Structure 1
Amino acid sequence: MDNKKRLLIVAHAPSPNTLKLRHAVAEGAVHEDIENVEVTVIAPLDAGPDDILGCDAVILGTTENLGYMSGALKDFFDRSYYPCLEKTQGLPFAYYIRAGHDGTGTQRAIESITTGLRWKRVQEPLVCRGDYRDEFEAQCRELGMYVAASLDAGLI
């Protein structure tokens, strides 16, 4: 019997830098000390309600686009919201935003949708603000590790 927990990472990565961030989250989530978590990374346009229904926790990633989340992540939510609404209440989640500005509108949009879904945020949002810095990758790696380790330990 497979006792592994499933962590889903749904992250929009339209540039080399955002791809580095998505890889860093996944890298942290598969840390060698985390034993019982299976990690799946899917782009938002390829993910859907079945992916959410089949996971035990989710990490979302998006760029800040015109003060909002990426259209790809919004499309993912549009297709997944009602099929998941009654079936994923309490789903542990975390998210990160690659924000050229402050990320406030993006944060507000994600919080609004996930509140409607009644998901449970398990970590403060990670907002990578301003010009790209290599430290964003370490922060994303830590986010992935924290969520996966918490899932592995049965804390979430």
Structure 2
Amino acid sequence: MSARKRLLIVFHTQSGNTGQLAKAVLRGAGRVTEIESRLMRAFDAGVDELLNCDGLLLGTPENFGYMSGALKDFFDRTYYPCEGRLVGLPYAVFVSADNDGTGAVREIGRIANGYGWKCVAEPLIARKAIAPEHLAAAEELGEAMASGLAMGIF
């Protein structure tokens, strides 16, 4: 029997909006019992967690058209120790934004490209106040990612 695949959800929240999305992503992923899902704040996640995951969901608020400093810190701390070791890792992004969120998505994508990761879902951008439809979309994202890992799609 093979070990269960692991989904790592790394996020930062200041106002609580991205935290709401992260919890919804975890709820959705939790529907797929074949996958072990772990939710971690960006400042708490590190090299060990990243190297031991089979899929990654990244959550951030949009700050000045960019990702949060905490998520950037996660990348800064993990890039060189993980360089070349996670090529093809499936990932997706969720963003809470007062503006359009595309700057944060773009810059995360550039960094993920440096790691060699593979984006497997359209980014979820929750604009303005978090609404029930944003939470439903976040649950769907978590479930889809976990399902894809469980079925070996990615």
TM-score, L = length of structure 1: 0.94
**Deviation of 1:2 (Å):** 5.2
Q: 2:60 corresponds to which letter in structure 1?
A: T
Which amino acid letter does the alignment assign opposite residue 115 of structure 1?
Answer: N
Cross-structure match for 2:72 = 74
Task: Identify the match of residue 113 of structure 1 among 106, 111, 115.
Answer: 111
In structure 2, the partner of 1:60 is: 58
- The answer to whether the 8 A contact 1:59-1:94 is kept is yes
Query: Structure 2: any 5+ residue segments left out of the alignment?
Result: none
Partner residue of 1:141? Answer: 139
Deviation track 1:44-76 (CA, whole Å, cap 9, x = no partner) reads: 000011111000000000000011000000000
Residue in 2 aligned with 1:13? 13
Displacement of 1:133:
1.9
> What corresponds to 1:155 in structure 2?
153
Cα distance in 1 for residues equivalent to 2:134 and 2:40: 20
Whether the 8 Å CA contact 1:102–1:130 is kept in 2: the answer is no
Task: Tell me if structure 2 keeps the 8 A contact 1:25–1:145.
Answer: yes
Alpha-carbon separation, structure 1, partners of 2:78 and 2:43: 11
In the superposition, the TM-score normalised over structure 2's length comes to: 0.95
Q: Distance in 2 between matches of 1:102 and 1:36?
A: 35
Q: Indicate the RMSD between aligned Cα atoms, in angstroms.
A: 1.2
- What is the CA–CA distance in structure 2 between the aligned matches of 1:73 and 1:26, rounded to whole Å? 18
Whether the 8 Å CA contact 1:7–1:57 is kept in 2: the answer is yes
Q: Deviation at 1:20?
A: 1.5
Aligned-pair CA distance for 1:97: 0.7
Q: Which moved more, 1:123-132 or 1:87-96?
A: 123-132
Shift of 1:131: 3.2
Gaps of 5+ in 1: none
Amino acid at match of 1:137: L
Secondary structure of 1:116's counterpart equals helix
Number of equivalenced pairs: 154
